[in-house]
Amino acid sequence: MFKNLLLSAIIFCSGLVANDPPSVRATQKWVKKNGHKIIGDFTELLAIPNVALDRQNIRKNAEYISELFQDRGFEMQLLEADGANPIIYGEMKKPGATRTLCFYVHYDGQPVDESKWKHAPFKPVLYSGPMDAGGKPIDLPNKRKKINPEWRLYGRSAGDDKAPIITILNAVDALQASNIGITSNIKLFFEGEEEAGSTNLKVHLSTHRELLDDIDIWLFCDGPMHQSRQPQLVFGVRGVTGMEVTIYGAARSLHSGHYGNWAPVPGQTLSHLIASMKDEEGNVLIDGFYDTVEPLSEFERLELSKIPDVDIGLKNELGLAYTEGGGRSINERLLLPSLTIKGLASGNVGSKARNVIPNSATVALGVRLVKGNEPEDMLDKVEAHIRKEGFHIVYDDPDMATRRKYPKIAKVDRRGSGYIASRTSMNDPYAQEIINATRSFVGDDLILMPSLGGSLPIYLFTDYLKKPVVIVPVANHDNNQHAPNENLRIANLWYGIDLMGVILTMPN
């Protein structure tokens, strides 16, 4: 229906949209009339500080947001757990509805280093365009001011993750204003410590499970849209694990002159080990590393092939003439488990380098997992590889007897077990409904992304609660998520309101 969101923004404002689902006419009419108020409301929401450890303000956010939804007819409550920030939980029952949708949002934001922000992070400022592309601060619009969808609102959590709250609220308002009925039972589940590691999420899910058991599909409203600016739905995330491996030389660091060419060099031994783990094209050579990967369906393969190529732009931006995988696209490569080196350390380099043979060398290995990989099983495979390379494996620093016995010793430290990937099948019937509804609105430009490369504990929903999850991003890809000067592009807010309207009115 449109080539990109820039075009879409022009269309939205000129009112020339045709063949849209009825809800889109309602939401666009609403936005046209109330745009200034929506931006004002968003500004007020962003002005409540929301760092997870700031318990007082977190609760203020929870009560404020709860009230906004209560005003729209949701039955609201705050779900509590010991020492945890509350979950904002809401329900709206629709008689005759054949499904229950639950919107996941997180209302906490990343910690802020104020010194690095142009403006105070919790005093939002509207800009005429991106700050780093010459945008200037402008006043909040009044009723008569024409709103440019390329404006940006700067403030912590503008993109990650308060925007979806505003889009859901206004979609409900717009439908009510146009007397269009919501067609599903709706639940809300807004987390307050996602940016602090979701440490209490599982406790919340298990404590309040009876409230959640009738949910048919979770809509994860988080994360940015595709770099191409095309709308996307995402069906999975990678899991994560890792280990540290330490290789030993002599029991103490040695003079490189008195012992060099005779004493073992831990950095050398470690390099041989690391080199044995991957070929020069970046393929992991560890036995069985790819064996448990669950393949994509034919439908998913087809959708994958339609995703715009971002590799050239990325390589240009990152200064790369080479990527792992022999030229295969990043979208495809992220569907495999990865083995990367987060850190290497032995002795010193630069001005601190001394003429020694250090007594050890350590690598921090990062492992990302895809659907089918179990963290412990993958680490077992790495460990088996190390053993196959001739190392005696220990889990504590070796004593002298051990050192004297084994030519090659590696200490393995599994640093926390990590967690599995999650991926919802695009063939899941509820997922199909979301795909169809979204496509009815955005057309063939819709990107269906099997998985993000990063990791989120979505497995708690897909594997613990055993429900399908679709990630529904709203924020612009350049929203400076987690960084200073976080922002939301207004066109993305409008897109989100339309999209929420469409989802709320999916046919039964």
Q: Does residue 190 sit in helix, strand or coil?
A: strand
- Smallest gap from Cβ 372 to a second copy, in A, equals 15
Give the per-residue contact string, 338-357, with a second copy (x = CB under 8 A; - = no): xxxxxxxxxxxxx-xxxxxx
What phi-psi label fits residue 283: left (phi over 0), alpha (psi between -120 and 50 degrees) or beta?
beta
Residues 410, 386: Cα–Cα separation, whole Å? 8
Site residues (CB under 8 A) for a second copy, limited to 435-464:
452-455
**Cβ proximity to a second copy, 153 vs 265, nearer residue:** 265
DSSP summary character for residue 281: T
Neighbouring residues of 24: CB distance < 8 A, sequence distance ≥ 6: 17, 441, 498, 501, 502
Residue 202, token pair as written in the block: 């599982």
Site residues (CB under 8 A) for a second copy, limited to 322-341:
322-325, 330, 333-334, 336-341
Residues 97, 452: Cα–Cα separation, whole Å? 31
**Cβ proximity to a second copy, 142 vs 316, nearer residue:** 316
Site residues (CB under 8 A) for a second copy, limited to 232-261:
238, 240, 244, 249-252, 254-261
**Residue from 266, 457, 468, 501 that binds a second copy (CB under 8 A)?**
266
- Smallest gap from Cβ 336 to a second copy, in A, equals 5
- Smallest gap from Cβ 247 to a second copy, in A, equals 11
Residues 426, 84: Cα–Cα separation, whole Å? 33
Site residues (CB under 8 A) for a second copy, limited to 392-431:
398, 400, 403-408, 415
**Residue from 34, 128, 148, 268 that binds a second copy (CB under 8 A)?**
268
Site residues (CB under 8 A) for a second copy, limited to 42-101:
none
- Smallest gap from Cβ 459 to a second copy, in A, equals 14
**Residue from 282, 308, 372, 443 that binds a second copy (CB under 8 A)?**
282
DSSP summary character for residue 140: P
Q: Does residue 358 sit in helix, strand or coil?
A: coil
Residues 152, 135: Cα–Cα separation, whole Å? 9
**Cβ proximity to a second copy, 217 vs 254, nearer residue:** 254
- Smallest gap from Cβ 230 to a second copy, in A, equals 18
| Alpha-carbon 345 to chain mean position | 29
Give the number of other CB atoms < 10 A from CB of residue 17.
16
Which helix or strand (DSSP H or E) is residue 497 part of? helix 490-504
Cβ atoms of residues 121 and 46 within 8 Å: no
- Smallest gap from Cβ 236 to a second copy, in A, equals 12
Q: Does 361 bind a second copy (CB under 8 A)?
A: yes
Q: Does 278 bind a second copy (CB under 8 A)?
A: yes
Q: Does 387 bind a second copy (CB under 8 A)?
A: no
